[in-house]
Amino acid sequence: MGRGDKKTKRGKINRGTNGARRPKIKKRVRPETKIEITKKVKP
């Protein structure tokens, strides 16, 4: 168990892969930047 092991965090770092032990960090989308108002509705 160590650098060559597929199931350990160190093995994932060594191989350069991701998985259950080393998930990808997702960027959070802010709600302010997500919603864009372009047209105004006439009353």
Tokens of 31: 């709600």
| Residue indicated by tokens 């990808």 | 24
Other Cβ atoms within 10 Å of 22 Cβ, number: 15
Say if residue 32's pLDDT is above 70. no
Q: Is 14 helix (H, G, I), strand (E, B) or coil?
A: helix
Give dist(CA 7, CA 4) in Å, integer: 9
What is the pLDDT, as a whole number, of residue 20?
87
What is the pLDDT, as a whole number, of residue 26?
84
CB 27 within 8 A of CB 13: no
Residue 35: which pLDDT band, with cuts at 50, 70 and 90?
low
Cβ-based neighbours of 3, under 8 Å, separated by 6 or more: 10, 11, 14
pTM (whole model) above 0.75? no
- The full set of domain ranges for the chain reads 1-38
Tell me the average pLDDT across 9-28.
88
Residue 34: which pLDDT band, with cuts at 50, 70 and 90?
low
